[in-house]
Structure 1
């Protein structure tokens, strides 16, 4: 039974930990207009970075990886004229699906959109995308010793079209009713789509791409600027554990959605916190070297590389980063091990 069958019973009482995350999410949403007005160039740069990171991270979660970074960048940018491997083809496919959603012409949400995204995802492969599964499937985990264990049993192939149609209609009805927090409704949509598991392959990527689009559609645009997929990839074990916990009893309407929604809202709240960090130095009017200094001393990991700082501070050049690090080193606040691109920097404790 889908989560939307009885929303008042299922999510009528929100746990306190999730209330706190929703408060962070709504506060972050309220700041987005300020960022768009005051920091348009920074947001453009962040959007480009997030798009690339989302394509690579969501694909990598499913084992679709192009090890050559230059080659991956060529594919993500659309400059690759030929695609040599299945991973390259699927990376290009996820780019096509995500870019279609970013055009903002996909509304309204319907079953045809779900099928079209799947068609785009596998559009560069020999696999025929854009059709629901025609045989029943199960979702399995592979243990470290190679043993496979069943995670859950999805909806049957025969019932899949009905379940997807019903999910889409119930989601649209619930969103229009405005009785429950829209972020929770998006999270429930993703949970149900993953549990229905409508395709032989690509279910996770389709669910994550739609999550971005649905959040933006209800006004939570952080996924334009901070890659939600990257956050999921960083904590993939927690993501899958939460999904497993919330699928138990789903077919009987006896499942607990809160493990999944707790992980979902925490990830979304963290994205807003990251966006606030990325914009804080720019809003304060500090120089680019000041932005590097603040990031290294207050936000960066204790051990980092110049590439990490570059990724965290779009628009700041490598020479500027090196100048700021040289000053911090002279002050005894950081030290470096190695030279060139492989150099590793370490933040020292301040006495």
Structure 2
């Protein structure tokens, strides 16, 4: 887990360098990711629309008329994600805002008009069904109607305090928040979809700015069995106070790791005439060296070592790797060599 967190945080810092990508390139990445996220998050809950159907619907969306509940759900979730992407800095983590986001998500679904934006009024334990749609048993007992408001207040308060603190890593705090949110199941419907939107919201608020450009939901869809299994293993004793968070946090961090690597691959596969090739796995030393060239166009290895308080051999080795990767251009030979940005 520590290794996964370190990899994600390194990528989080490296993402800042993607300002080199043109706005239209980032727009394309985000558009593709949004379609994948909207389609996958709804299909996880039983929606039947394909990514192609989702893209077609979003391109001709009319808020007055939809052909099915599936289309209503997709339109609402798309609007929810747009709200999160555009306003995450202004949306605090609070029960009131969580209810508002739930209301946005279900705003087009006529069947849900009586409970959208409100905590559940009927029991909603997670059940298993056979191929004919008949319930065959309860998989997980969610929080009772009486306990839900109290548990949500405590969960939001704990999460907000721990995200502000530095004792626990924010990725762990977000993971714990999500597994408890789904255990409470505070709304009559839409808890799974809302939990994934809240995950995106909290990640963006903690500085993981690359999240809108690669779909986390599509990765979960590809491993639905692992998703539900890890949730149940952690939630098994969640009301007893003896919770084993490892199964869920392991799945959660692995999902974020796959999301990040998927985005890396997308960028690397961009054609040279449509994107600037960027190696997002540069070391921190390499990034620091490249930053020097933003302040001054020409440097020697010795000057770089002195400026960054590096061992001269480390400076030479890192500069050589940057030359080989095409980031720097070498001029001169031996002791008289100097470098400039490419």
TM-score band, normalised by the shorter chain? 0.7 to 0.9
Q: What is the TM-score normalised by the length of structure 1?
A: 0.72
Q: Secondary structure at the match of 1:251?
A: coil
Partner of 1:24: 7
Q: Does 1:221 align with 2:209?
A: yes
Q: Are the aligned partners of 2:39 and 2:50 in contact in 1 as well (CA < 8 Å)?
A: no
Q: Which residues of structure 2 form unaligned runs of 5+?
A: 278-342
Q: Are the aligned partners of 1:131 and 1:199 in contact in 2 as well (CA < 8 Å)?
A: yes
Q: Secondary structure at the match of 2:118?
A: coil
Q: Does 1:135 align with 2:118?
A: no
How many residues are treated as equivalent by the alignment?
Answer: 271
Distance in 1, matches of 2:51 and 2:6, equals: 41
Change (3 A) 1:137 1:32: same
Q: Does 1:46 align with 2:2?
A: no
Instruction: Using the TM superposition, give the Cα deviation of residue 177 of structure 1 relative to its aligned residue in structure 2, in angstroms.
Output: 1.0
1:73 to 34, 45, 55: 55
Q: Are the aligned partners of 2:80 and 2:105 in contact in 1 as well (CA < 8 Å)?
A: yes
Partner of 1:342: none
Q: Are the aligned partners of 2:122 and 2:145 in contact in 1 as well (CA < 8 Å)?
A: yes
Partner of 1:115: 99
Distance in 2, matches of 1:59 and 1:235, equals: 14
Q: Are the aligned partners of 1:78 and 1:92 in contact in 2 as well (CA < 8 Å)?
A: no
Q: Are the aligned partners of 1:28 and 1:273 in contact in 2 as well (CA < 8 Å)?
A: no
Q: Which residues of structure 1 form unaligned runs of 5+?
A: 1-17, 292-351
Instruction: Using the TM superposition, give the Cα deviation of residue 23 of structure 1 relative to its aligned residue in structure 2, in angstroms.
Output: 1.8
Change (3 A) 1:144 1:21: farther
RMSD: 2.3
- Residue deviations 1:72-126 (CA, integer Å, cap 9, x gap): 3243246235202111111111112111111225421110111111111221122
Superposed counterparts of 1:1-351, under 5 Å: 18-66=1-49, 69-70=52-53, 72-77=54-59, 79-80=61-62, 81-105=64-88, 106-126=90-110, 127-128=112-113, 129-142=116-129, 148-282=136-270, 286-287=272-273
